[in-house]
Chain A
Amino acid sequence: MSTAEQSSPDAPLAAALRQEIAEVAQHAEHKRAASTDALKLVQKRFGYISDNHLAEVAAILGMTPAELDAVATFYNLIFRRPVGRHVILLCDSVACWVMGEAAARAQLRDRLGIKPGETTADGRFTLLPIVCLGHCDHAPAMMVDEDQYGDLNAARLDEILERYK
């Protein structure tokens, strides 16, 4: 299988990834308990969970697609729709609200042309609101992919965006 195929959300999951999921499921007391872990493994690889992958993971876990999707769609951080190469999670909770989250949001809109929930045309960024990141002493705060940023201000925000191509 070519790499291109492997990274397509429409192609079947690679054997190694299926194996990894099966192992996680094996370790869980009931296979179903591995559902978030398994979905995250797929998401790490593809950015989101396509319908095909949902069905595949469900089969490995002995669940139906509906059962797995019922869990998947509950969570904030499991994406069932395509996202950009980088996901910006901008905290919209109260401490950041006090400290200027709106300014950060406005600046992101100016620089990237997207509102929360949208993806840039070039597929580089998806901007999503997120609940309190536990970084309130450094509000306003955000995450880009797995990196955490606090004490945002105009200059710092621009500088951070530069790091993600």
Chain B
Amino acid sequence: MTRAEFPELGDVIQDAEFPDLDLALRRGRHVDRDDVAWYALLTDGQDHLEAFYRRYGCELVHKPDGYYYLLPTGDKLSRRQLAPGDMLVGQTLALLYLDPSAIERGGRVASEDVVAQLVAVLGSDALIAAFHPKRKRHDERVAQKAVRARVGEAVRRLAGLGFVDLADGDQLRLRAALLRFAEPVRGLSAPAEALAKLVAQGEVALAPDDDAPGDHDDEFDEAEPGHESPIDDSGDNAGDDPGDEPSA
């Protein structure tokens, strides 16, 4: 997998794309074929880079669906788990990715489609409850608005991690890395068994039963009518600058 012009690791590191790619991977970015230059560098220097990142206690994972990401297995590089809200939105986007209707538009969907899909699967009440776990009574209009805001924030964070591209207007472009959200149910084995295997590999972490999307959004419970809830950091750095876009 290492092309002739990269006989040594030093040659990979000398590549002009490497610094940005390295920073992006370390910040959790998933790199797929649409990131033309980065993907080519990863593919051509894969052997060297796998050994390189292993020294940092990380696995450079390459999925057959056509994307790379860095998975910390030791303590040298910090790791994080996606927030429950991001997981909910990520699985919804994966569902849209599998839907043939998205193919008509070349994998483009509107933000409204994401909320519509969430409503279709969970139902309005369950969706609002998922983002309002502590609140017993709420204004319906405010709650719906807040859910839309939460979904929008989650989409932006997932875009930073390379799961979607934010296109013009209200459009999103779905990317292959979304299939990672479907990993526990992709194989022929039972989902629980597959999930246990993924947990053992460090790919996923099990969330406590009472860990609902809104548990991380204390401000949300206090939201007054007409007040936009602040951005949910969810105690992690998912929203931090995930790195520059690759030059195609």
Asked if A pairs with B, the answer is: no
